[in-house]
Amino acid sequence: MEWRCRDRILDCDGPPLVMGILNVTPDSFSDGGRFADTDQAVAQGRRMAGDGAAILDVGGESTRPGAAPVDAPEELRRVIPVIEALAELPGIVISIDTMKAAVAREALRAGAHIVNDVSALTHDPDMPGVVAAGGAGAVLMHMQGTPRTMQAAPAYRDVVADTAGYLAGRLAAAQQHGIAPEALAIDPGIGFGKTLAHNLAILGGLHAYLALGRPLVIGLSRKRFLEALTGRPVAGRLAGSLAALACAVAQGAQVLRVHDVAPSVDACRTAWAIMRPGGAPAAEGRAPAC
């Protein structure tokens, strides 16, 4: 399966693609303030590309539970210089993590290829038009509620069926807005209006999303459900993140959104080599290229 993102075509039948998280924010849940300065952010983006990230996901507004909204001028001030600098890296694909059409439009102008919208193009009525006009790729993510309210009392009839049904509807709506089906990817939105039980049910039931026939993005890196499972604070969640990532890859997830690129690339390679259809590449005398 191909994921078409402007002039880039991502192969989603091969080894999983790692999407490195670049939060140009003062308040993100795990790395807030570390890359808030343009030079620090660009250096981190270069590092992640060198570590094997296929995609760099640049965000200027935190979506952690309870996060305060940021206005478009401030979001643009944070992300545009970073995208301009990173777009010069050969072969790298850049995504902009935003719910605002004005930010997405400028980010595409600055060199981004994908719009990663945690509201699945519902927050800003102009967003579908911006994605369609730019020929951009898009990640449609499920969220129940808004970042401010989403963890208050999330409830579902059947979390996997409900979220997969929602994403099927959003895929159809995006195409009605003129976005090519090959440009779309989906994401069940780990931690976005979900309890621990909801997150675990989703992560164990990825077949329901894969059945929708588009690349599946999973963002679980360092998230709070890992604290519930391991008792670890954010800084101690790498092992839990890698274990969960390997489970997602074993089920067929094609794109993994992560903070720790180098160990995640290794975990992807290993899980994919063991679990991919046809068995381990070493047995055929071929090396995987994740």
Cβ–Cβ under 8 Å, residues 221 and 260 = yes
Q: Does 63 bind ligand HH2 (CB under 6 A)?
A: yes
* CA nearest neighbour of 25 among 73, 72, 74, 66: 74
Cβ neighbors of 219 (< 8 A, separation 6 or more) are 21, 187, 189, 190, 256, 257, 258
Catalytic-role residue among 223, 224, 237, 269: 223
Q: Which of residues 8, 30, 145, 200 is near ligand HH2 by CB under 6 A?
A: 30
Min CB(223)–ligand HH2 separation in Å: 7
Site string for ligand HH2, 240-259 (x = CB under 6 A): -----------------x--
Q: Does 167 bind ligand HH2 (CB under 6 A)?
A: no
Q: What is the arrangement of strands in the sheet containing 114-117, beginning at the earlier edge strand?
A: 184-187, 137-141, 114-117, 93-97, 55-59, 17-23, 255-258, 217-219
Q: Does 29 bind ligand HH2 (CB under 6 A)?
A: yes
Determine the 3-state secondary structure of 55 from DSSP: strand
Closer CB to ligand HH2, residue 98 or residue 276?
98
Q: Does 4 bind ligand HH2 (CB under 6 A)?
A: no
The phi, psi pair for 21, rounded to 5°, reads: -85, 125
The two tokens of residue 42 are 């660009």
Stretch near ligand HH2 under the rule CB under 6 A, chosen from 40-48, 55-63, 170-178, 200-208:
55-63
Min CB(140)–ligand HH2 separation in Å: 9
Q: Which of residues 20, 52, 59, 60 is near ligand HH2 by CB under 6 A?
A: 59
Q: Does 64 bind ligand HH2 (CB under 6 A)?
A: yes
Catalytic-role residue among 170, 214, 237, 257: 257
Min CB(210)–ligand HH2 separation in Å: 16
Whose tokens are 């780990």? That residue is 190
257 is annotated as an active-site residue: yes
* CA nearest neighbour of 95 among 59, 61, 121: 59
Stretch near ligand HH2 under the rule CB under 6 A, chosen from 60-68, 158-166, 203-211, 226-234:
60-68
Exposure of 275 by Cβ count < 10 A (0-12 exposed, 13-18 middle, 19+ buried)?
Answer: middle
Q: How many CB atoms lie within 10 A of CB 216?
A: 24
Q: Does 219 bind ligand HH2 (CB under 6 A)?
A: yes
Min CB(27)–ligand HH2 separation in Å: 7
CA distance 95 to 73: 19
DSSP state of 193: S
Min CB(257)–ligand HH2 separation in Å: 5
Q: Does 23 bind ligand HH2 (CB under 6 A)?
A: yes
CA distance 249 to 242: 10
269 is annotated as an active-site residue: no
By annotation, the residues acting in catalysis are 223, 257
The binding site for ligand HH2 (CB under 6 A) comprises 21, 23, 25, 28-30, 59, 62-64, 97, 116, 118, 139, 141, 187, 189-190, 217, 219, 257
